[in-house]
Structure 1
Amino acid sequence: MNQPELSRRISLVQATAINMTDMVGIGPFIVLSVVAETMHGPSFLYAWIAGAFLSFIDAMVWSELGATFPKAGGSYNFLKESFGPRTGKLMSFLFVWQTMIQAPLVIASAAIGFAQYTGYIFPLGFWETKAVSGMVVLLIIFLLYRNIETIGKISVLLWIGVLVTMVWIISGGITHGHFLEPVKHINDGLELNYAFAAALGFSSVKTIYSYLGYYNVCHLGAEIRMPEKNIPRSMFISIAGITVLYLCMNISVASVLPLERIEKSPFVVSEFIQVLSGHTAATVATVLILWVAFASVFSATLGYSRIPYAAAQDGAFFKVFARLHPTKNFPYVSLLFLGAVAFVFSLLFKIKEVISAILAMRILIQFISQAVGLIMLSKKKGRTFFKWRMPLFPVPAILAIIIWVGIFISTGVHMMLAGAGVTTAGIIAYTIKKRLFTEKL
């Protein structure tokens, strides 16, 4: 009897749709106000530009590794291959270790944001809000419990909803007649000093969160058609498209609402539409924003469910996670576990608590170590080894490392300690696991 296997069914369009729906989640609608409040001036647009720049150069790292190692699990394989037999096993284990915590946090953050925006249509109490966020996670698991070809089609449908929502928001600002005003005044009161640099750093933590997901296609590497071409293409198309959408959305909102209102509003985009077209239109816009948030959770959960599966299949994680559904060929144990943890997190935390925690846990192992590993692997294998090669290597990789270090510091002392603590606990767990395994041998 043949064992079920992952199959390459996801096209470039579907891969791009999966990336973009992951990127445009509830993040930009929630953090728009937070970024404006932190920067406290029209220069808040620079934080969105900074997020796009980091995403673009970091995508070069992901593109080289993703095109060369197109397997399920993404960073799990990248770290294992880059750091060699000994250190690679530790690094890949640490990635899976932190993924089992931060992946449910990512899923929960989108679900919590979904519940927050629902409050614009139906005022919700504490328990009602928790119930909504929990139900979102459960519905996502239900929709993902099927084969990848069907999921690819669902992703395109959700992507269309994302684009319709963003185009509506942007066109509202353009037709209002003052679209370029925020751009003209972007440097008003701007002083290039430590205060600006600190504010930009703290704001970039939030904007980077909104860009995360450009690499989701790498986690699905074993299911992408022509991965050496489509993995890099889908990432750069996604980042370029999302950058334009984010900047235009922020400019549109700032061209209609005063900065003071933007900074204080929990439903800033809904209020933006209300000013332009009335309460009914704002309600419709809010429903579309909820569509976007739902699509993001769908895409993120899809990608993350492949990571424990890849590690377990490789013998580096609990064997039960290597199981594929006997008829639908997807890692159902991994999906159900991450969904269950995300459900609990969605009931426990608030949106602002999880954004910094998500980044702090991921930066050390996934982003910084991955870029370092690429440089090491290039020295060992040579540049011709890679199926896709970044221009000006290693400059983009080094720049990405430097900026990620800055973002890590900007998450704050408590989050830095939490991220380091999770990594330390993972090293201890790996050491215990290795010794127990050695003793059994």
Structure 2
Amino acid sequence: MSIKPKLGLFDLTMIVVSLVIGMGIFRTPINVSREVNEPWQFLLIWVIGGFVTLCGALTYAEIGSRYPKAGGFYKVMSYCYHPAYAFMINWTVLISNAASVAAVCMIGAEYIGPVLLPASLQNNAGLKLIAFGTVALLYTVNMIGIRMSASWQNILTVIKILMVLVLCMTIFVGDVQAPKAVESITGHNGHNWLYMFGAALVPVFFTYGGYQQTINFGSDIKEPARNMPKGIFIGMAIIITAYFTINYAYIKVIGFEQLKTTDALASRMMQAFFGESGFKITSVLLFISVMGYANVNLISNPRMYYAMAEDGVLPAIFMRVNPATQVQQVALTVFTALIIIVIFFLGTFDKMLKYVMLFDTIGLASAAASIFVLRRKTKSMDGLGIYKMKSYPYTTLIFVLVYLMVTVNIFIQDWKGALIGLSIFFVGLPLYFGAKKVVREEITNN
């Protein structure tokens, strides 16, 4: 049975906003402020990041419209490139997703740490302990078959929306400085503007991430040729406005120089207005949001293993589901182990961020570039009501080139770490052939 389009303009707009606005905006502005020298540069980079993200979202919207298949990146790149390359990309994406969950758990630890831990334990080891405990708790909950209900996820969304609105409203309040005194950290005065903006775009793109999932809605949208671009434009306009306003509020309340070393941003903002109780309440609420985000990923990512196993590129054991609890025990355990490994070996949000974005920039640029092949292979669909970018190929070229620039910048910043990350990508090739061999043997034995 084919998918029938049921989503209108408002639905798509809300989907775009929901996909993008996550936990990053409550932490990554610290990283961005460290990479630039002036407040106007800080604000400009968020606008530039939003524009590039819009280019990517439009590209992925057309990909989803032309190739509405379940399986996301794997199916598209397998069709346009080669199954081996698709496996290598998705292998790194799964690691990237684990690193993303680990990074968000560290954000949660930064928020809840001052509330739970004594001052002597408010260090990297203490934050790691909280992150480990969070992952272990959610793993246990998922293994016994208890999932977060839809109402829990609604509460999570409401908390994030309220936090965003409150942070935006602070720009209308008189000058209030956050009570935490910190030392100043200067930007990259010794580097040229291209390097500076490339470095700043790493955390910005992490914060704008999520739009790529519009690839899954190409066949769900009514009148896609009209509603796709309008919904994405409106959604991105809302997001860019919200992010710009929040970051302006950070500068106004905390101060640009202080922003560079201020932890738990949202809580510090609330502390400035409501005192210590505001700090603690906000810290707890954001930690709950982090748990919700991590839990959703523990539920969803094992499904990616399932899809790859179903396609014959992972052993069948990854499709095994406990009949009593409906839990993919092997896939869930593997994904959880990846999260714990990332937390243990990297440990800080800053290091995790670079690994996440190294994998993401390669994967997202590759997936976006598939439109050049896909347009040729699906030329017969032109004029049949699918969404087709009017600004092609410039929209896609801007996105791909900027993301490749960010990839190069990550190598410049930490070439040893980047090489390790790149080696993980290439390890995917022998893994692909090894997995295919195991699958063939399983089929033969059965």
For the aligned pair, the TM-score class normalised by the smaller chain equals 0.7 to 0.9
Quick check: 2:94–2:301 contact (8 Å CA) kept in 1? no
User: 5 Å matches for 1:164-175?
Assistant: 164-175=162-173
Deviates more, 1:93-102 or 1:139-148: 139-148
Q: CA deviation at 1:279?
A: 1.8
Q: Structure 1 residues 318, 20: closer, same or farther in 2, change over 3 A?
A: farther
Q: Distance in 1 between matches of 2:155 and 2:13?
A: 12
Query: What residue in structure 1 maps to residue 105 of structure 2?
Result: 111
Q: CA deviation at 1:276?
A: 2.5
User: 2:348 is aligned with what amino acid?
Assistant: K
Query: What residue in structure 1 maps to residue 155 of structure 2?
Result: 157
Q: Structure 1 residues 273, 350: closer, same or farther in 2, change over 3 A?
A: same
Query: What residue in structure 2 maps to residue 428 of structure 1?
Result: 430
Quick check: 1:19–1:215 contact (8 Å CA) kept in 2? no
Quick check: 2:80–2:373 contact (8 Å CA) kept in 1? yes
Deviates more, 1:198-207 or 1:375-384: 375-384
Query: What residue in structure 2 maps to residue 182 of structure 1?
Result: none
Query: What residue in structure 2 maps to residue 66 of structure 1?
Result: 64
User: 1:156 is aligned with what amino acid?
Assistant: N
Aligned length: 418
Query: What residue in structure 2 maps to residue 407 of structure 1?
Result: 406
Find 2:194's aligned residue among 194, 197, 208.
197
User: 5 Å matches for 1:208-219?
Assistant: 208-216=205-213, 218=215
Q: Distance in 2 between matches of 1:18 and 1:265?
A: 32
Per-residue displacement from partner, 1:43-100 (whole Å, max 9, x unpaired)? Answer: 21122122212211111222122234444431011111222xxxx2112211232133
Quick check: 2:314–2:435 contact (8 Å CA) kept in 1? no
User: 1:403 is aligned with what amino acid?
Assistant: V
Q: Distance in 1 between matches of 2:134 and 2:11?
A: 23
Q: CA deviation at 1:358?
A: 0.9
Aligned to 1:264, the other structure's residue is in SS state: coil
**1:297 matches 2:291:** no
Query: What residue in structure 2 maps to residue 361 of structure 1?
Result: 359
Q: CA deviation at 1:337?
A: 2.7
Find 1:282's aligned residue among 252, 257, 279.
279
Quick check: 2:54–2:233 contact (8 Å CA) kept in 1? yes
**1:38 matches 2:40:** no
Structure 1 unmatched runs, 5+: 1-6, 179-189
Quick check: 2:312–2:439 contact (8 Å CA) kept in 1? no
Query: What residue in structure 1 maps to residue 180 of structure 2?
Result: none
Q: Structure 1 residues 433, 333: closer, same or farther in 2, change over 3 A?
A: closer
User: 1:244 is aligned with what amino acid?
Assistant: T
Q: Structure 1 residues 422, 17: closer, same or farther in 2, change over 3 A?
A: farther
Q: Distance in 1 between matches of 2:200 and 2:29?
A: 10
Per-residue displacement from partner, 1:215-273 (whole Å, max 9, x unpaired)? Answer: 34656x69x96699599887666544332221111111111222221112123332222
Query: What residue in structure 2 maps to residue 95 of structure 1?
Result: 89
**1:309 matches 2:311:** no
Q: CA deviation at 1:409?
A: 1.0
Quick check: 1:66–1:231 contact (8 Å CA) kept in 2? no
Q: Structure 1 residues 201, 41: closer, same or farther in 2, change over 3 A?
A: same
Quick check: 1:73–1:306 contact (8 Å CA) kept in 2? no
Quick check: 2:35–2:199 contact (8 Å CA) kept in 1? yes
Q: Structure 1 residues 194, 37: closer, same or farther in 2, change over 3 A?
A: closer
Q: Distance in 2 between matches of 1:376 and 1:272?
A: 48
Q: Structure 1 residues 256, 436: closer, same or farther in 2, change over 3 A?
A: closer
Q: Distance in 1 between matches of 2:157 and 2:299?
A: 14
Q: Structure 1 residues 431, 334: closer, same or farther in 2, change over 3 A?
A: closer
Q: CA deviation at 1:362?
A: 2.7
Q: Distance in 2 between matches of 1:218 and 1:139?
A: 32
Aligned-pair RMSD on alpha carbons?
4.0
Find 1:334's aligned residue among 314, 331, 336.
331
Q: CA deviation at 1:143?
A: 6.4
Quick check: 2:316–2:439 contact (8 Å CA) kept in 1? no
Q: Distance in 2 between matches of 1:263 and 1:253?
A: 11
Query: What residue in structure 2 maps to residue 4 of structure 1?
Result: none
User: 1:425 is aligned with what amino acid?
Assistant: V
Q: CA deviation at 1:142?
A: 6.0
Q: Structure 1 residues 206, 228: closer, same or farther in 2, change over 3 A?
A: farther
Quick check: 1:18–1:155 contact (8 Å CA) kept in 2? no
User: 5 Å matches for 1:2-21?
Assistant: 20=17
User: 1:293 is aligned with what amino acid?
Assistant: V
Aligned to 1:201, the other structure's residue is in SS state: helix
Q: CA deviation at 1:207?
A: 0.9
Q: Distance in 2 between matches of 1:357 and 1:340?
A: 17
Q: Distance in 2 between matches of 1:402 and 1:131?
A: 39
Structure 2 unmatched runs, 5+: 177-186
Per-residue displacement from partner, 1:261-310 (whole Å, max 9, x unpaired)? Answer: 11121233322222233221222222233233334334444443332221
Quick check: 1:305–1:335 contact (8 Å CA) kept in 2? yes
User: 1:61 is aligned with what amino acid?
Assistant: T
User: 2:273 is aligned with what amino acid?
Assistant: L
Q: Distance in 2 between matches of 1:264 and 1:371?
A: 35
Quick check: 2:12–2:221 contact (8 Å CA) kept in 1? no
Query: What residue in structure 2 maps to residue 379 of structure 1?
Result: 376
Query: What residue in structure 1 maps to residue 182 of structure 2?
Result: none
Query: What residue in structure 2 maps to residue 176 of structure 1?
Result: 174
Q: Structure 1 residues 228, 110: closer, same or farther in 2, change over 3 A?
A: farther
Query: What residue in structure 2 maps to residue 133 of structure 1?
Result: 131
- Report percent identity of matched pairs: 19
User: 1:390 is aligned with what amino acid?
Assistant: M
Q: CA deviation at 1:40?
A: 2.4
